[in-house]
Structure 1
Amino acid sequence: MYSSNQPDYQKPSAYSTPPPPSSAPPPYAQPPYAPEQYGGPSVGIPVMGSQPGPWSTGLCDCCDDVPNCCITCWCPCITFGQIAGIVDKGSTSCGVSGALYTLIAFVTGVPCVYSCCYRSKMRQQYTLHESPCADCCVHFCCETCALCQEYRELKNRGFDMSIGWEGNVQKQRREMAMAPMPQGGMTRDK
């Protein structure tokens, strides 16, 4: 196939030309698994390299979840504690975060200096737009609406907000364990 007169370094090889471009996305664009295909909640594996996307609900859609809206209006420390517990992936508890929020509210009168940091962290984890304006402005102008929106976003991503991070992890493991195994895989002939 090749003439013997060419030195080895000049012979064409399979590695000398790049493969033709394909329309398939790069491998990092897809999460390693999709929990919802196994019946489990999609608990927010962000897609690496993707552009920020929209929030699942608007800032003023508080009436979409009336019980949470009422709790957030009367006692925002509860909603904030639940959000912080999920966003921190269990490293801080709901009670500790809620108590710190309450302490900051009593001492400074502006708990948004603490809660806006969690909005930023949540946006980064789930690649969400910074909308309708900067996180600190959203929390300063509309603290209860911002907390309600963050709560709804986590709930829409499959989290059960009442059981915290550890409860959600255990729930997902149970659902993954109970998922049916695909049929017709590789078998060993006897």
Structure 2
Amino acid sequence: MGEWQNGLFGCFNNCGICVVTYFVPCYTAGKNAEAVGESCCLYGFLSILGCIGIYTRAKIRGKIRESKGIEGGFGNDCIMHWFCGVCSLAQEAQELDPAGGAIARE
């Protein structure tokens, strides 16, 4: 199994993703969901709803892990989004688009 290309605190590897995610995390959550075949608007909205948001963001993180062959589990994904939600979203966005183009430009 593989590992994340960017560390959890590697937010500043792509400043565009970092800034967008810090100020509008629901946008990044929606774009991450869209990249794995889920509804951008639905998951973007759900991401701001406390415990429901943690669950939905962890679910998308799991799909990203599966698609990239990254080790981990749902419990760990929940913990990542509970304690480091913004960093987790940025890490996922960087994993989905290593060039950083899609999220930073739109």
* TM-score computed with the length of structure 1 as normaliser: 0.48
Which of 40, 43, 55 is 1:97 aligned to?
A: 43
Q: Are 2:91 and 1:149 aligned?
A: yes
What is the alpha-carbon distance in structure 2 between the residues aligned to residue 116 and residue 146 of structure 1?
A: 9
1:74 aligns with: 23
Amino acid at match of 2:47: Y
What is the alpha-carbon distance in structure 2 between the residues aligned to residue 124 and residue 159 of structure 1?
A: 20
Amino acid at match of 1:100: L
Which of 5, 12, 17 is 1:63 aligned to?
A: 12
Q: Aligned-pair RMSD on alpha carbons? A: 2.2
1:54 aligns with: 3
Larger Rg: 1
Which of 57, 61, 64 is 1:119 aligned to?
A: 61
Which of 66, 69, 72 is 1:130 aligned to?
A: 72
More helix by share: 2
Percent identical: 28
What is the alpha-carbon distance in structure 2 between the residues aligned to residue 96 and residue 159 of structure 1?
A: 23
Q: CA deviation at 1:86?
A: 0.7
SS at structure 1 position matched to 2:14: helix
Aligned length: 102
Q: CA deviation at 1:99?
A: 2.2
Change in Cα spacing, 1:160 to 1:65, as seen in structure 2 (3 Å) is closer
If asked which structure has higher relative contact order (CA below 8 Å, sep 6+), I would say 2
Deviation per residue, 1:70-120 (Å, 9 max, x gap): 1111110000000000112xx52x223212323x24xx5x62121011111
Amino acid at match of 2:20: I
Gaps of 5+ in 2: none
* TM-score computed with the length of structure 2 as normaliser: 0.82
